A = this chain, B = another copy of it.
């Protein structure tokens, strides 16, 4: 590794207004300078694209943001390529917050191991990574999904939705996908094993829910905000549980979720929980120990949508924010 190598980076050209566009991003080949002392240099292999990043580039995600000119923030699976740290020797596979670039220098405390025994390291960004842990936290820890539950999942074939559906099915629940388009319907029903799929564009959500969940919805895992949140909440059964986890619609900045009237939560005797996955880092290894073997045994569907090359990341992110992805979006940056 030397100064002659360029580091391809994707930066924020300007803050998006509403839906992000490709022109909000810029690609730069930056000279790769010498590694800073004590840092561990990593070569990005797989980069994760997630809806929460929309609020990061808006500058207001949980107290941190990316400014114009900065490399877009993001989590990756990477390979250590320069290191003096015996804990992280060259060749180690790690998770790190590389951002959207080929090479990143990281302090050792910012690295995490990719689970041992994982034959597809990208899974550490999808069903066995942050989206999977989010699904587990919402479905298992908060909603305590169980046999007989009727579970509704919007963004149903995305990173969190795909794992949430499988966790719900494993618990014996009936699962209802909310998605759009024929391809995603097929993935939801045939690949991810949802019992029902509602097309949020072609169908009237309220009427469709009444048909497939005539006794009401017992668990709703909200990833999108209004109007879906309020419509599904109105179909809750008594004692229904709602996990509030994402507000995709609001992230684009042109929409403001209000949620249902608090009187509805009273009438439904609902339990509503706010979920931030960062709180679940202490449980990550327990989660990995349970689900890595299942993934390796072929009992979990990852439903990754692999994008080839870092340069394609902006377009893939823009598609993600319009809901045009058909799986957990991962960018293959290196091999």
Copies of this chain, tallied across the complex: 2
CB of A216, distance to nearest CB on chain B (Å)? 14
Complexed CA–CA distance, A245 and B245 (Å): 24
CA distance A270 to B262 in the complex (A): 14
Q: Which residue of B lies closest to A229 (CB)?
A: B262
Binds B, one of A91-99, A148-156, A271-279, A311-319: A271-279
Q: Mark A269-301, 1 if CB is under 8 A from B, else 0.
A: 111111110010000000000000000000000
Instruction: Tell me if B269 and A247 are in contact (CB < 8 A).
Output: no
Evaluate contact between B269 and A274: CB separation under 8 angstroms. Answer: yes
Q: How far is the CA of A270 from the CA of B142 in the complex (A)?
A: 11
Q: Which of B263, B264, B269, B274 sits near A266, CB closer than 8 Å?
A: B274
Which residues of chain B are near A120, meaning CB under 8 Å? none
Give which listed residue, B222, B266, B273, B276, contacts A244 with CB less than 8 A. Answer: B266
Judge whether B62 and A267 touch: CB under 8 Å: yes
Q: Which partner residue on chain B sits nearest A278 by CB separation?
A: B269
What are 8 A-B interface contacts by the 8 Å CB criterion? Answer: A62-B267, A244-B265, A256-B261, A257-B261, A258-B261, A265-B274, A266-B275, A266-B276
Instruction: List A residues at the B interface (Cβ < 8 Å).
Output: 62, 222, 225, 229, 244-245, 247, 250, 256-259, 261-276, 279
